Each structure stands twice: as structure tokens, then as C-alpha cells.
Amino acid sequence: MIFKRQKNYRYTPTKKPLSKKRIALYAIIAAVLFVIGFFSANPIMTLVGMFL
């Protein structure tokens, strides 16, 4: 089990850039939804933007 965990820790650096890219994509999508909701003055869209 310990050797498997060490191998997983070695493979994690390759997975971290993908997770950072996903976080950036989610942040961009949330910002776009928030801007659309803000300009359309729709409270439902602003709530969706806040939750995302």
C-alpha cells in the first residue's frame, strides 16, 4: 500500500495542470454567467453565477 501511494504521488504532478485548467475554465464560465445575469438584470442568472 505504501509503495502504491508513492507511485500515485509521482503521477499527481501530471494531473495537477489539468485540474488547474479545469478550475480556470469553471471560473471563466462562472464569470461569463455572472456578467450575463448582471447585464440582463435576471435574479435567477445572478444566483446561478454566484453558486458556480
pLDDT of residue 15: 59
| Strand locations in 1-52 (E) | none
Distance CA 36, CA 30 (A): 10
Q: Cβ distance 48 to 29 under 8 Å?
A: no
- Kindly give the confidence (pLDDT) of every residue in the chain, 52 residues in length, as a single tens digit, with 9 standing for 90 and above: 455 555 555 555 555 666 788 888 888 888 887 777 677 666 666 667 676 6
pLDDT of residue 16: 61
pLDDT of residue 41: 65
pLDDT of residue 39: 72
